[in-house]
């Protein structure tokens, strides 16, 4: 591999107060639906912090990369063009699907705590026993057509499916390694090929998740430590022992090559995960060499080896301030697991899911919402129903979400608690759920969660001149009465919200 070229590029020095994977208190917030907010609230918008969510150029410091990546070499204009569809899309479907959907959270008659796709590690299942799941995998009810149609109905613009998770099982036709869905199961079909065809037909973008570093069934693959596993290798079965470079060269890199070349225009996203110390800059550079051959590709910040990729990936939380200067995507589960668990019925409400989407859009990010098909290939009905409901809201109100810019206000999202602290000792961010805002060139959208009993929405010192207003869900877009007094504007609202979850007030504006 060529490591001769070198470059000095820049690193975003913005310091994150919440770790990438740690859900900290956020999961708790986001699972809480604030039901006991006083019903009589005057919603007041104060614009204090213009542009705090804009993607401004961050403070930078140099990083050395053995092979420069596309992000190191392209211009800002090229980056904007490459990221355009992703930034506009706002909402994607994450699909965690693999052999773990067979045990579905139960092993040897015991319910295994934790996320379903981690069952092999969490229950210390020996390699041979786990591999024996493959001949039992026959998801005959899998329909790429239906899954893509569901994503479309939900208003999602892209999907990312696990091509290989940490268990090492490839959900695609791989010549590089026979532990895959085509060679090792009675199913024999390639779901990635079928999804690619349907995405092409139905106008959906398709990306692949690939666990490049952890691989619990390939000799030499990495493992995160859980339980009483070996303190150095973190392995729990000698069949996992081996040389990381030979894993990288005989499995991961060949499979990444296959994924990048077997599916025509797809993938448009490669979603790496959980780099360990094994993913050194030189090893990551070998993967970057492959990625560089696909100049429109978008890839996340989890490759490792000091590469920052295109996107920040807060997992199971929404960053209170977004990630100034970076593209970002919150990935979140719809219940409490990524991979299917038969007994996880802890589904988030449509209200919570929609608030998350709106909250994320108001901070300039994307929402990658996960579903976990079962061992027959079916997305559980409780998940599909929720997606349909979100889609209904977006069919009416999508204009406020897609291709929108972040809020011009800021304090409406919440505030740091003067008393409560999170794990790291930083002040805890307490979200507020009265309203959010998104922006377009000549419009300000106010997504109202808590309908004001006062009958009006009050704006103090609006950042732009408000010329007229209406509700997006009002089919006639009847103008609402505006009262301008001094430096504030009052918008009269009907007595009842048009949508119990979020009603969008549109303000036409001029500068």
Nearest to ligand H79 of 211, 438 (CB atom): 211
d(CA 440, CA 158): 22
Nearest to ligand H79 of 118, 433 (CB atom): 118
Nearest to ligand H79 of 222, 450 (CB atom): 222
d(CA 431, CA 448): 14
Residue listed under structure tokens 């999602």: 156
CB of 451 to ligand H79, least distance (A): 35
- Helices and strands (H and E) in the chain: how many: 12, 22
CB of 198 to ligand H79, least distance (A): 23
Nearest to ligand H79 of 43, 115 (CB atom): 115
Element (H, E) at 470: strand 465-471
CB of 115 to ligand H79, least distance (A): 6
**Of the residues 24, 71, 185, 274, which one makes contact with ligand H79 according to CB under 6 A:** 274
Give the number of C-alpha atoms closer than 13 A to the C-alpha of residue 71, restricted to the C-beta side.
22
Segments of 100-245 assigned E as strands: 106-107, 110-111, 158-164, 205-210
Q: Are 480 and 493 in contact (CB under 8 A)?
A: yes
Question: In this structure, what is the dihedral angle of CA atoms 315, 320, 324, 326, given to the nearest 10 degrees?
Answer: 10
Q: Which two tokens stand for residue 81?
A: 């063009």
d(CA 42, CA 145): 46
Cβ contacts of 107-110, under 8 Å, gap ≥ 24: none
**Of the residues 338, 429, 445, 451, which one makes contact with ligand H79 according to CB under 6 A:** 338
* Closest among 142, 139, 146, 143 to 102, alpha carbons compared: 139
CB of 221 to ligand H79, least distance (A): 14
Nearest to ligand H79 of 273, 312 (CB atom): 273
Contacts to ligand H79 from residues 197-226, by CB under 6 A: 224, 226
Nearest to ligand H79 of 222, 437 (CB atom): 222
Contacts to ligand H79 from residues 233-252, by CB under 6 A: none
Give the number of C-alpha atoms closer than 13 A to the C-alpha of residue 361, restricted to the C-beta side.
30
The number of angstroms, rounded, from the C-alpha of 293 to the middle of its chain's C-alpha atoms is 25
d(CA 297, CA 55): 20
Count of residues interacting with ligand H79 (CB under 6 A): 14
Contacts to ligand H79 from residues 18-47, by CB under 6 A: 21
Nearest to ligand H79 of 14, 21 (CB atom): 21
β-strands 158-164, 110-111 pairing: unpaired
CB of 231 to ligand H79, least distance (A): 14
* Closest among 120, 206, 122, 123 to 168, alpha carbons compared: 120
CB of 45 to ligand H79, least distance (A): 35
Contacts to ligand H79 from residues 70-129, by CB under 6 A: 96, 114-115, 117-118, 122
Ramachandran region of residue 442, left (φ > 0), alpha (ψ -120 to 50) or beta?
alpha
CB of 409 to ligand H79, least distance (A): 31
CB of 167 to ligand H79, least distance (A): 10
Binding mask 380-419 for ligand H79 (x = CB under 6 A): ----------------------------------------
**Which backbone phi and psi does 56 adopt, to 5 degrees?**
-80, 165
Sign of the CA dihedral with 20 first, then 24, 26, and 27 last:
positive
Binding mask 301-320 for ligand H79 (x = CB under 6 A): --------------x-----
Nearest to ligand H79 of 274, 362 (CB atom): 274
Binding mask 416-455 for ligand H79 (x = CB under 6 A): ----------------------------------------
Nearest to ligand H79 of 117, 310 (CB atom): 117
Nearest to ligand H79 of 190, 213 (CB atom): 213
CB of 114 to ligand H79, least distance (A): 5
**Which backbone phi and psi does 103 adopt, to 5 degrees?**
-65, -30
Nearest to ligand H79 of 93, 448 (CB atom): 93
CB of 368 to ligand H79, least distance (A): 9
444-461 as b/e: b if 16+ CB within 10 A: bbbbbbbbbeeebbbbee
CB of 170 to ligand H79, least distance (A): 15
Task: Tell me the residue nearest to ligand H79 as measured from the CB.
Answer: 21
Sign of the CA dihedral with 413 first, then 414, 415, and 421 last:
negative
Please give the residue ranges that form the binding site for ligand H79 (CB under 6 A): 21, 96, 114-115, 117-118, 122, 224, 226, 273-274, 315, 331, 338
């Amino acid at each position: 591999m060529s490591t001769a070229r070198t470059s000095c590029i820049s690193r975003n020095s913005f310091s994150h107060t919440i770790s990438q994977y740690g859900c900290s208190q956020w999961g708790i917030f986001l699972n809480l639906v604030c039901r006991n907010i006083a019903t009589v609230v005057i919603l007041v918008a104060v614009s204090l912090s213009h542009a705090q969510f804009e993607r401004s150029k961050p403070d930078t410091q140099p990083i050395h990369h053995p092979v420069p990546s596309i992000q190191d070499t392209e211009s800002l204009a090229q980056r904007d063009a490459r990221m355009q569809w992703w930034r506009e899309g706002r909402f994607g479907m994450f699909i965690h699907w693999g052999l773990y959907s067979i045990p579905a959270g139960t092993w040897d008659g015991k319910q295994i705590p934790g996320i379903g796709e981690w069952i092999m590690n969490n229950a210390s299942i020996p390699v041979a026993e786990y591999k024996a799941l493959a001949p039992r995998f026959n998801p005959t009810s899998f329909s790429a057509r239906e899954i893509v149609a569901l994503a479309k109905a939900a208003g999602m613009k892209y999907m990312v499916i696990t091509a290989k998770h940490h268990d090492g099982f490839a959900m695609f036709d791989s010549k590089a390694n026979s532990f895959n869905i085509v060679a090792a199961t009675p199913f024999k079909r390639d779901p990635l090929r079928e999804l690619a065809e349907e995405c092409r037909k139905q106008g959906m973008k398709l990306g692949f998740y690939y666990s490049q570093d952890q691989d619990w069934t390939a000799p030499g693959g990495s493992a995160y430590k859980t339980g009483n596993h070996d303190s150095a290798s973190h392995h729990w079965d000698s069949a996992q022992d081996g040389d990381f470079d030979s894993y990288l060269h005989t499995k991961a890199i060949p499979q990444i090559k296959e994924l990048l070349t077997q599916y025509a225009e797809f993938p448009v996203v490669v979603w790496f995960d959980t780099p360990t110390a094994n993913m050194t800059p030189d090893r990551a550079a070998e993967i970057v060499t492959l990625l560089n051959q696909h100049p429109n590709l978008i890839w996340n910040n989890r490759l490792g080896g000091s590469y920052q990729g295109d996107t920040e990936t807060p997992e199971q939380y929404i960053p209170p301030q977004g990630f100034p200067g970076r593209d970002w995507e919150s990935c979140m589960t719809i219940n409490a697991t990524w991979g299917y668990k038969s007994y996880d019925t802890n589904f988030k409400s449509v209200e919570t899911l929609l608030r998350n989407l709106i909250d994320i859009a108001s901070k300039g990010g994307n929402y990658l919402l996960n579903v976990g098909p079962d061992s027959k290939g079916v997305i559980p009905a409780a998940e599909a129903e929720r997606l349909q409901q979100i889609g209904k809201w977006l069919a009416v109100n999508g204009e406020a979400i897609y291709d929108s810019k972040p809020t011009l206000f800021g304090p409406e999202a919440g505030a740091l608690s003067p008393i409560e602290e999170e794990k790291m000792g930083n002040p805890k961010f307490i979200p507020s759920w009265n309203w959010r805002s998104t922006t377009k060139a000549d419009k300000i959208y106010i997504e109202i969660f808590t309908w004001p009993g006062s009958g009006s929405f009050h704006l103090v010192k609006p950042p732009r001149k408000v010329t007229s207003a209406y509700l997006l869900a009002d089919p006639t877009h009847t103008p609402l009465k505006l009262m301008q007094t001094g430096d504030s504007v009052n918008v009269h609202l009907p007595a009842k919200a048009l949508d119990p979850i979020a009603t969008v007030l549109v303000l036409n504006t001029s500068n």
